[in-house]
Structure formats: structure tokens, C-alpha cells
């Protein structure tokens, strides 16, 4: 009987965890500069959209994974907020 209740509890906890709308969390930490800025303040979305590094503006910043991310405009910030795993560097920003 105890195993049955444990199984039900496990299923409920799993269902609750799957139903959250929280942004994805990475297991690896994000490398930041001394000031806590990810990728030295460059816009991670610009690497994909512009094909080159573009400095971000602190007026368009976002906190994610314990780091501050800067973006060149609100559009890039929104794209990152919707899908950070798409734009964040792999391996926490450390050189592979």
C-alpha cells in the first residue's frame, strides 16, 4: 500500500513539474565578466541575425541563469526571452 501511495505522489510531482511555464534552466553555469555580464555585453541574438558580434545596450538587458544579458534592441531581447537556449552559447560560454 505504501508503494502505491509513493507511486501516486511521484506521478503528481512529475505532472506538476511538467506543467510549469518557467523558462528553461541550464545545468551548467553561465560564464560572466567581473560585473556579471554574459559574453562581455555582446548581444547573443545578433550573432544569428546579423552574423557578427554586436555590442548590446544596457537599456535592453535581461537576467537569465544568474547573468545579465545585453541586447542591441527590444526585438532581440524578446527573441532571447522566448527561447534562451537557442541563442545562449553552449557550455556556459566557456571555450570548448
pLDDT tens digits, residue range 1-56?
A: 777 656 666 666 665 655 544 455 555 566 566 567 889 899 999 999 999 999 99
> Rounded to a whole number, what is the largest CA-CA distance in the chain?
61
pTM score, two decimals?
A: 0.65
Q: Where are the domains of the chain?
A: 28-96
User: Which among 34, 18, 24, 19 is positioned nearest to 65, based on CA atoms?
Assistant: 24
CA Rg, the chain, in Å?
Answer: 18
Q: Is the pLDDT of residue 63 over 70?
A: yes
pLDDT at 10: 64
Using alpha carbons only, what angle is made at residue 23 by residues 22 and 28, rounded to the nearest 5 degrees?
Answer: 120
Amino acid at each position: 500500500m505504501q508503494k502505491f501511495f509513493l507511486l501516486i505522489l511521484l506521478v503528481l510531482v512529475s505532472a506538476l513539474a511538467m506543467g510549469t511555464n518557467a523558462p528553461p534552466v541550464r545545468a551548467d553555469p553561465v560564464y560572466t565578466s567581473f560585473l556579471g555580464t554574459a559574453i562581455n555585453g555582446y548581444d547573443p541574438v545578433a550573432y544569428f541575425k546579423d552574423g557578427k558580434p554586436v555590442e548590446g545596450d544596457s537599456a535592453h538587458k535581461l537576467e537569465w541563469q544568474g547573468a545579465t544579458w545585453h541586447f542591441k534592441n527590444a526585438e532581440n531581447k524578446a527573441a532571447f526571452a522566448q527561447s534562451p537556449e537557442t541563442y545562449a552559447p553552449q557550455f556556459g560560454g566557456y571555450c570548448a
